[in-house]
Amino acid sequence: MILPLALALWALLGGAPADPGRSLQEAIDAAPPGATLEVRGGVHYGPIRIDKPLTLIGVDSPVLDGQGQGTVLWITAPGVTVRGFVIRRSGRSLTHEDAGIRAEGAPGVILEDNRLEDVLFGIYLKDSPGARIRNNRIRGLDVPEAERGDAIRLWYSSDAYIEGNETERGRDVIIWFSDRSVLRDNRFRGGRYGIHYMYCNESLAEGNILEGNYVGIYMMYSRGGVFRRNRFLHHRGPSGYGMAFKDSDEILAEENLFANNTAALFLDNTPRAEGSPVRFERNLFAYNGIGVLALPMVRGAIFRENVFWENEQQAAVQGEGNLQANRWEGNFWSDYVGFDVDGDGIGDLPYRSQRLFEALTDAMPALRIFWGTPAVQALETAARLVPFFAPQVRLEDPAPRMRPPAGIPGAAGHTPRHRVPWLGLGLGGLALAMIGWRWLQRTPAGPIRADPRQTPAAMLEIRGLRKRFGQTWVVRGLDLRVQPGEAVALWGPNGAGKTTVLRCILGLLSFEGHIRVAGRDVRKEGPAARRAIGYVPQELAFYSWTVRETLAFFAALRGVPVDPGIVEAMGLATYQDHPVRALSGGLKQRLALALARMGDPPLLLLDEPTANLDMAARLEWMRQLQALKAQGKTLIFSSHRLEEILELADRVVVLREGQVVAEVAPEALARTVGLQARLRLSLPPAEQDRARRLLEEAGYPVVANHHGLTLTVPADQKLAPVQQLWAAGIPVQDAEWELSEP
């Protein structure tokens, strides 16, 4: 019976025992599987662990307090329900992924009506399919965004139902390798990605409010997503996308509202497969900087019966090209200047996006500062009057609507529980609401200025780069394009041209071809281009000064003050009066990164930065780079360490003899270039001969010496020989490996 057990627990837990956390854990341990425990009020100290099917119900908001150490509540069993608790004060270790609630191997977990406060990760599900996460309020730690964990994270946890939750001060709500998730009527604000899908299929997001994040929803490498009646509001960061898709297929986005975003929708290689349906229907794009932003490679997307209302630019191409390979049918365009003689509601002339100034801003985004000025009006007039000024047509809608279709997003049908108060006002009311919001917003987004660092079409663009020393060509016809916020690794053997490419970008070497950094031509606008770059060379050389003097000198060269926040973040505050020559290699590398960050450049070039660091220094360095990437910095780095590329890079450019031979995802690098691992295994001397015979029979080439065995295996099979030896009862005392290309 539930009631007697609840009464017994009330007597046990409600009287403020000396160690209430232990008492709660003891009650959980003593309960039979399938029991329902009622916890009435009080503070109970974690960590708490549930390792059996159990229902834990909080009455009068009992508190589970992690005391700032580790994960507060661990769930490691199926069929667990946790309802009605305040869960607070997790640890702060990103390495250990400290969380408010963490479920591993716990299918069917139900988490509802809980309040999570001051937690690093909020709710973390790992290998826990079929979860139900409802009506929780999650507030992360009050720390810089780069140091936050995810508000909700799913890892290999398919069939999750996430409804009615609110999050703030989290990094992402991330759905990773988890199919058939449903996210409905949630409100996610103030994070990096409101919802981030990676390698997910058959996802549904409906009735959610995404507000004030860097990006509202970002789906990558996924198939089968439906996005319906969501609200994407006020995404104005460096990326500032309401919704974005990369390498995804079979998408339907309908009846969504996009308002006051830098770019409402961003498409990168979506659809990925020819003929895959990617449809955007009956959405409202209003008062955004750009309505639809896409790479010129995007083709096959369908835009039907959408409303494009007073966006600064209705559609744009990131770089050169057009969007004609996509289908535009029956949309309403607020800047359409056609007519409707037969009164059928469809314009008799096609809508064409063909503004000269828009074509210029596609190539040079910094020109947006002149939007709406008399100079732009004069330019557009000249383009209309003088035909040879006219740019190419960016897109064409052959049947534009003369008025918006009935039932704009939010006017009827499904209503999310978190309503935007001005949603039903129509387009005129939306305009007034947007103007009011801009005037009343307490924290402005910052002044708009002609600054190459403000959302360039490409952070780096290289076309036809060639460089030779004497008669030897070291770079031959290299093309590369890097987007803002992207982390790109350069991979190749010594002499492949990696360092030469970086030095050409810096303008330190003469070259043939074209390089633009943040929209600036490196040859013609060298100083302006270099202001957008921070550089960390492989070999460091400093003057015989203290850390403080070095920081002051380089800050003066940049024309900026020394930023105490950077000094503190790099762990140099206590070393400022130390001579640089007395610093360890790891501290010198931190100093180099601090100098590279002077002036807050958006692009960082890193030439094998961890080559001379020990393991501890490498781990700290990678933590710093991950934090910078999370802040939106663009990273271009060369490395010979596969683990660093897997941890940091978004893609890998493989160089050989100065040419790009492949561009691959990090996880495909080892297979693409045929990486091999040279293993050195330390074994008990008495087992060495048997181990050698076993491995040779398995097909491995083995060399024996007095230290153990050395063999070569594919890089993605490093553990296979170790597993075979253990299976044969041969202990491996130590294992080391290094990677090489064949």
Is pTM beyond 0.95 here?
Answer: no
One-character DSSP codes across 287-324: S-SEEEEE-TT--S-EEES-EEES-SEEEEESSS--ST
Same domain flag for 159 and 255 = no
Same domain flag for 345 and 476 = no
Same domain flag for 666 and 705 = no
CATH number for position 731 = 3.30.70.100
Reported in sequence order, the residue ranges of 583-701 that DSSP labels E, i.e. its strands, are 603-607, 634-638, 651-656, 659-664, 676-682
Buried-state track 269-293, b at ≥16 Cβ within 10 A, e below 16: ebbbeeebebebbbbbbbbbbbbbb
Does residue 210 lie in a domain region? Answer: yes
CA 38: distance to chain centroid?
Answer: 40
Burial class (CB in 10 A: 0-12, 13-18, 19+), 195: buried
Q: Which amino acid is at 232?
A: F
Contact criterion met (CB below 8 Å) for 365 and 516: no
* Closest C-alpha to 227, from 290, 166, 269, 270: 270
- Tell me what percent of the chain is helix, strand and coil, each rounded to the nearest 5: 25, 35, 40
Q: Give the C-alpha distances (Å, rounded to integers) separating 703 from 677, 691, 719.
A: 14, 11, 18
What is the domain range of residue 607? 460-672
Same domain flag for 489 and 349 = no
Burial class (CB in 10 A: 0-12, 13-18, 19+), 589: buried
Gap between the Cα atoms of 60 and 51, Å rounded: 25
Same domain flag for 116 and 226 = no
pLDDT score of 679: 81
Q: Kindly give the interhelix angle for 20-30 and 2-13, rounded to the nearest 10 degrees.
A: 160
Does residue 185 lie in a domain region? Answer: no
* Closest C-alpha to 196, from 169, 179, 215, 209: 215
Please give the helix or strand (H or E) that residue 429 lies within, else none.
helix 426-440
Q: Give the C-alpha distances (Å, rounded to integers) separating 653 from 212, 247, 338, 482, 665.
A: 33, 17, 47, 11, 9
DSSP 185: S
Cis check for the bond before 731: say yes or no (omega within 30 of 0): no
Same domain flag for 571 and 685 = no
Instruction: Tell me which residues of the chain have a pLDDT lower than 70.
Output: 1-22, 238, 355-391, 407-456, 543-544, 557, 612-614, 706-707, 739-742
Same domain flag for 331 and 398 = yes
Contact criterion met (CB below 8 Å) for 100 and 121: yes
Does residue 99 lie in a domain region? Answer: yes
Same domain flag for 663 and 681 = no
Same domain flag for 514 and 575 = yes
Query: Of 640, 672, 704, at which residue does a domain stop?
Result: 672
Contact criterion met (CB below 8 Å) for 273 and 246: no
Same domain flag for 662 and 694 = no
pLDDT score of 184: 98
43: CB partners within 8 A, 6+ apart? 20, 62, 63, 65
Query: Of 154, 178, 202, at which residue does a domain stop?
Result: 178
Contact criterion met (CB below 8 Å) for 466 and 511: yes
180: CB partners within 8 A, 6+ apart? 158, 159, 201, 202, 203
Residues in the chain: 742
pLDDT score of 230: 97
Same domain flag for 129 and 203 = no
Does residue 678 lie in a domain region? Answer: yes
Query: Of 178, 212, 239, at which residue does a domain stop?
Result: 178
Does residue 372 lie in a domain region? Answer: no
Please give the helix or strand (H or E) that residue 619 lies within, else none.
helix 615-630
Number of domains in the chain: 4
Gap between the Cα atoms of 168 and 151, Å rounded: 8
Contact criterion met (CB below 8 Å) for 175 and 194: no
Gap between the Cα atoms of 87 and 58, Å rounded: 11
For tokens 């409010």, the residue is 209
Does residue 528 lie in a domain region? Answer: yes
Does residue 230 lie in a domain region? Answer: yes
Same domain flag for 264 and 220 = yes
CATH number for position 495 = 3.40.50.300
Please give the helix or strand (H or E) that residue 38 lies within, else none.
strand 36-40
What are the tokens at 526? 């060298």
Does residue 467 lie in a domain region? Answer: yes
